[in-house]
Amino acid sequence: MVLGFMIAYSYNLTKEYKEQSIGNKDWDDEYELREEYIKQEEMTRELQKEVIKKQERIADYENSIAEEEEILFNLAEDIEKYRMFLGKVKVSGEGVEVTLSDNEYNPSDPNVNNYIVHEHHVFNLINELLISGAEAVAVNGQRLTHTSYIYCNGPVITIDGRQHPAPFTISAIGDADVLESALLITGGVRDQLVNENILFTLEQKKDISLEPIVGS
């Protein structure tokens, strides 16, 4: 009977030890899992920080590219405008055509210079057109540039070495309404020309094409 009690006691003691061992093992496993979870969270936070940094760098890079593209686009536009002003490219668009003609001979005024077109008439008209926003100007089809010169040579006008007889048709590309208003304003260029016996006609055009300057 004593032997049976000892065996039973030993069994119960072993059972309790096993249960305690299992309990301790479960706690160790849970602790390890918790530690691993904490490590994973820390790694995740570090990765998130790294991702945010890289995203910021990418955003800065994209902004830099966008700024460079805008600069290049504006530069290309400026270059095209300069080429247009220099007469190196064909230009088309709306605008106005103004014709200046010599007036009829007046027997009461024997001085022929008082009713023919002179270079200053053409020059003043061109200046007014440019001031009013004309993008390109031509006289009798000849494109003008910032270095063009105009002078009177008897009954003809010489522009950049080429002679043109009257009448003179000045073509200007730009906002047709603005250009017309600038020329027709009271006391403006049109009135001055008419007062000096010059025949003046103006017409708006939907489409004017000016060829580039040969050899430019």
Query: Higher confidence at residue 85 or residue 163?
Result: 163
Q: How confident is the model at residue 121 (pLDDT cuts 50, 70, 90)?
A: very high
d(C-alpha 145, C-alpha 88), whole Å: 10
Amino acid present at 4: G
- Could you tell me the CA-to-CA distances from 8 to 11, 13, 20, 63 in Å, in that order? 5, 9, 18, 81
What's the confidence (pLDDT) of residue 74? 59
For 199-213, write each residue's pLDDT tens digit.
999 999 999 998 887
What is the rounded average pLDDT for all residues in the chain? 79
Nearest alpha-carbon partner for 137 in 216, 198, 213: 213
Q: What is the pLDDT of residue 136?
A: 93
Q: What are the pLDDT digits (tens) for 98-114?
A: 999 998 877 777 777 78
Average pLDDT over residues 145-151: 84
pLDDT of residue 86: 59
| Preceding amide of 155 cis, omega within 30 | no
**What pLDDT is stored for residue 48 in this prediction?**
74
Please give the residue that has the higher pLDDT: either 191 or 48: 191
On the CB side of 55, CA atoms within 13 Å amount to 6
Instruction: Tell me the whole-structure pTM to 2 decimals.
Output: 0.62
* C-alpha–C-alpha distance, residues 114 and 195, integer Å: 10
**Average pLDDT value for residue range 67-95:** 66
What are the residues facing 138 on neighbouring strands? 143, 171
Q: Which long-range contacts (CB under 8 A, 24 or more apart) does 7-13 make?
A: none
For residue 189, count CB atoms less than 10 angstroms from its CB and return exposed for 0-12, middle for 13-18, buried for 19 or more. buried
Which of 3-17, 26-40, 57-71, 179-193 shows the lowest mean pLDDT across its residues? 3-17
Residue 134 has a pLDDT of 94
Statement: residue 216 has pLDDT above 60 = no
User: Which pLDDT score is estimated for 215?
Assistant: 59
Phi, psi of 165 (to 5 degrees): -85, 160
Q: Is the pLDDT of residue 24 over 90?
A: no
Please give the order of strands across the beta sheet that includes 142-143. Answer: 142-143, 136-139, 168-173, 91-101, 199-210
Residue range 19-27: mean pLDDT, rounded: 54
Predicted confidence at residue 87, as pLDDT, reads: 61
How many Å apart are CA 145 and CA 130, to the nearest integer? 11
Which pLDDT value is given to residue 76? 56
Average pLDDT over residues 5-15: 50
pLDDT at position 77? 56
Whole-number pLDDT of residue 31: 65
